[in-house]
Structure 1
């Protein structure tokens, strides 16, 4: 069997790195969505003590770090992404002491901690915005936000035609006649990042959490903080989840998948000056601290600009997440990702699911596998749950076999699908309400986790209460129903992470392995051969192939030969 060193040079894609490089270059990072991870208080909403009590699960799973979605003081108009105080914990989740205890326990277990930072906008209950409302037009307080006079004879029309990402207009008018910009909900006013006080404030917020010992920050809407001067009209459609219209790139080495936001409110040159300043702040602290960009930007060469050596350390690869279950398309995105990231010396950061998209176990069970609806509910196409999970496990082993860093979203290690039958009257996502229900929203991927099959609320809360209902079928997905069970999704993840670490795949290299057919993605990483069969027919393996791990059982024929079944991924000794 071929190895990385003996493959033809034309198939070489990415050179191996040092296994002793910075931790964020090859880390597997687990996203915790606090309100849905574990509830210690019994109110049905997850909290920091609940997270702390379950950190042992993450250490046992084998991840390297934890990313916490927002837990700051907030009126919760957008599940905490509307921050009223960046230096305090919302009582819903606990206290600063609870955060310090979580951080200490995580570090004791060898887990690094990344916290979410939401710098594009604040809550309308933030002290700055309340001061702006009280001060009135033309005041220094309003200069921190994007207040503008309206158009029309009496200023009755919004300053431009921009739409909110959550639906409806991106402007709200106050009683005094001025309008303020909010790319998201009307309770999330956008800051003006040209204002020096805004820049100074967030550098101080960074230092506040760095002083407490955090290992980095995931930056929400990292591509949206700076707007084009003059705030010109734009005729395109804005959508955070769907992205731009899908177009074919002119250069296949610079991939476009339709996962990028377009328009004068995104990806402006001025954001890079901000991140260079933040890079200097993190560099002033000991240890390898990391900035992670949530930037829905395409083509990939634009995304690479966020991870140049003096800016951020990572950027989510949403082009990979957005690609359909198609071998040729995935190969193209993978190759383009390495070409662009390697060009700036950055790792490629892989992701399949998060709190903003339908879980990949459900997306891959749709008639167009890998497509990205804005939520799934009653009357929508329902995924094939069994097929979706089979493909999701195969996709995860493909992702974890790739060099670079990888992100897991809480519950995917259990194989959780979206709650695709959640009643509309229980939905809480502002996108559902602002679109009049046209977009189901993101509640389906945010349902509280099942820990114990036979306990009320599946062990999420000591009272059995959950802020969103869990499907009854989730009993089969509960952690205690899978731990120690050969072939369970949980054990498949745990084994994959152990093999990935033992084989040092995260800092490895990649070379395509040819000759497996059009429906197969095959590559060598160090001396491991990864074969992902996206087709329906089994793919034969070389005689004597040694299987290290697989998403399903490999097929063994009567003559002893082995093959990779359809919708499956196998790791082999190359």
Structure 2
């Protein structure tokens, strides 16, 4: 944890394909580390933890929004796209952070939020101060209302966070916000919006940013007729490139412009789309080399811990990436979803489109129906499965500690707008809003905020965090932190061609096995009962095997057992 950053060669920094099989760690800055004791994580905190990030063995960090914001939506309501929130740091500290990360051999991806601004953005304030039909209002989506005096919204649409999607301003017009009231949607038919975002891409690229994660990438292009469809009509419309609001074909004209900007740099800047679309074919458009180049697949976040589900998802996504020439992405946890250690401790969904968290809450309380030990065991196995796959792996801060979702947050201290504007059944994946995965990290066993900062934490941390802190796990054989470190170290050595071969002999029942180029094998037992372990040199196991004390090392003769909910990496004998 105190290792000094290494010096990285220019050749390593200039690798244009670094993103294809990168291990990327998402930092939610307000909850990572607080350097000044105000209860909010900041850039100084990140800088202080660069040795920790380096020791973890990462290729890149994805930094969630750090821009000036009123935090109506956790920083995704952006006041200024080319500055740092004073509560988080300064541009000078941002430059220092970039230098520290690059010095440690870690690339930087930053979140970009192009679908909307905050209602405090200078453009939106100008729009409110300008008359109907003005250029300032044309940068957003303003409409006259319905009814005799325009007192009704232009349509009965609801926002993603619940409640009306239209808000009225003092002169009687209404503006569209797909998310919170404080997040007015941009009008991407306006040329000034295009030019301003290209300026933003260059601003951060010039400061050394290596890539961008594009928030709501499928939402920018909109086509709204004079007579708007009703909510029911909108819901019935296919999302095939012609929907008025989501995943329109012309959104890719925007990303072609951005690709030209990315290619101005050497190496070219990268991008990954957050695009919730209907089909693999629609998602592939975002991952094209003429566009953003890569797109998230969230399929494993929505799957049960099940061998058949996992195999189908991997097969489908590798086929999709082959079509575009991109690499696929794998993710189990992020800032918007319930942590997978908790998710896998809940009853299986069995392919049903139900919300785990809603069931969790409605069943009687956060502790009801959860097997936390099994959930963590499965999460460790799933992570090792993920890290063995070709493609890039996205990890969320704290999962390397085995953190569970924090459910026991008093209502009065919750910050997620989705918690306040929707019912439990509709609050996204966790049923309690998204605060539970955004609680500040525990670094030490003791202290007011477990080492997060000297001034407490902006969300309450539970007492059980002590046993999941970095201090509690650092150097402890078999801990989740040490498993992640060793898995990432091995992954960097073992990854080669972006391919795998299913081992049909081993992949039966609850067991899923595949071989990677170079003769190494990943075997996962998704069931409860142990199964025979194949012959080979044991490189790492997510759960200690009978013959070792930390899940690593040793040779299997084929007579050992692979426990349930366990992944093991093996090198075939003679490979």
TM-score by length of 2: 0.89
CA distance in 2, matches of 1:295, 1:416: 27
Q: 1:263 deviation in Å?
A: 5.7
Q: 1:489 deviation in Å?
A: 0.1
CA distance in 1, matches of 2:229, 2:144: 14
Tell me what 2:30 maps to: 35
Tell me what 2:480 maps to: 489
CA distance in 2, matches of 1:221, 1:476: 36
Tell me what 1:296 maps to: 276
Higher relative contact order (CA 8 A, sep 6+): 1
Deviates more, 1:133-142 or 1:192-201: 133-142
Tell me what 2:330 maps to: 350
CA distance in 2, matches of 1:374, 1:315: 26
CA distance in 2, matches of 1:442, 1:192: 28
Per the alignment, in what secondary structure is the counterpart of residue 381 of structure 2? helix
Tell me what 1:515 maps to: 505
Per-residue Cα deviation, 1:240-272 (whole angstroms, up to 9, x for no partner): xxxx9xxxxxxxxxxx9xxx9996321111110
Tell me what 1:402 maps to: 389
CA distance in 2, matches of 1:559, 1:401: 22
CA distance in 2, matches of 1:236, 1:328: 36
Tell me what 1:307 maps to: 287
Q: 1:155 deviation in Å?
A: 2.2
**Which of 47, 64, 67 is equivalent to 1:69?**
64
Matched, 1:422 2:413: no
CA distance in 2, matches of 1:334, 1:71: 33
Tell me what 1:50 maps to: 45
**Which of 118, 125, 135 is equivalent to 1:123?**
118
Distance 1:508 1:437, change over 3 A: closer
CA distance in 2, matches of 1:133, 1:349: 41
Per the alignment, in what secondary structure is the counterpart of residue 523 of structure 2? strand
Per-residue Cα deviation, 1:475-513 (whole angstroms, up to 9, x for no partner): 1100011111111000000010011111125x4411111
Q: 1:368 deviation in Å?
A: 2.0
CA distance in 1, matches of 2:150, 2:341: 48
**Which of 541, 549, 552 is equivalent to 2:540?**
549
Matched, 1:233 2:220: no
Distance 1:341 1:559, change over 3 A: closer
**Which of 560, 563, 566 is equivalent to 1:565?**
563
Tell me what 2:17 maps to: 22
CA distance in 2, matches of 1:207, 1:354: 27
Per-residue Cα deviation, 1:321-362 (whole angstroms, up to 9, x for no partner): 211212111111111101111111000011111000011111
Q: 1:69 deviation in Å?
A: 0.5
**Which of 86, 105, 109 is equivalent to 1:110?**
105
Matches of residues 192-207 of structure 1 in structure 2 within 5 Å?
Answer: 192-207=187-202
Contact 1:236 1:263 in 2 (8 A): no
Contact 1:366 1:384 in 2 (8 A): yes
Q: 1:369 deviation in Å?
A: 6.3
Contact 1:377 1:420 in 2 (8 A): no
Q: 1:421 deviation in Å?
A: 1.7
Tell me what 2:145 maps to: 150
Per-residue Cα deviation, 1:125-162 (whole angstroms, up to 9, x for no partner): 00100011110211111000011112233322222232
CA distance in 1, matches of 2:181, 2:356: 24
Per the alignment, in what secondary structure is the counterpart of residue 569 of structure 1? strand
Per-residue Cα deviation, 1:44-74 (whole angstroms, up to 9, x for no partner): 1100001110011110000001111111111
Matched, 1:137 2:132: yes
**RMSD, aligned CA:** 2.3
Deviates more, 1:339-348 or 1:429-438: 429-438
Matched, 1:458 2:455: no
CA distance in 2, matches of 1:113, 1:225: 24
Tell me what 1:390 maps to: 377
Distance 1:418 1:312, change over 3 A: same
Tell me what 1:467 maps to: 458
CA distance in 1, matches of 2:422, 2:501: 45
Contact 1:23 1:288 in 2 (8 A): no
Q: 1:437 deviation in Å?
A: 5.7
Per-residue Cα deviation, 1:301-332 (whole angstroms, up to 9, x for no partner): 21111011111122111122211212111111
Distance 1:159 1:373, change over 3 A: farther
Per the alignment, in what secondary structure is the counterpart of residue 342 of structure 2? helix
TM-score by length of 1: 0.89
**Which of 515, 519, 529 is equivalent to 1:524?**
515
Q: 1:390 deviation in Å?
A: 0.4
Contact 1:234 1:264 in 2 (8 A): no
CA distance in 1, matches of 2:512, 2:94: 42
Per the alignment, in what secondary structure is the counterpart of residue 85 of structure 1? coil
CA distance in 1, matches of 2:341, 2:288: 33
Tell me what 1:365 maps to: 345
Distance 1:60 1:402, change over 3 A: same
CA distance in 2, matches of 1:79, 1:479: 25
Per-residue Cα deviation, 1:516-541 (whole angstroms, up to 9, x for no partner): 32212211111111111111121212
Q: 1:43 deviation in Å?
A: 0.6
Tell me what 1:220 maps to: 215
CA distance in 2, matches of 1:352, 1:369: 16
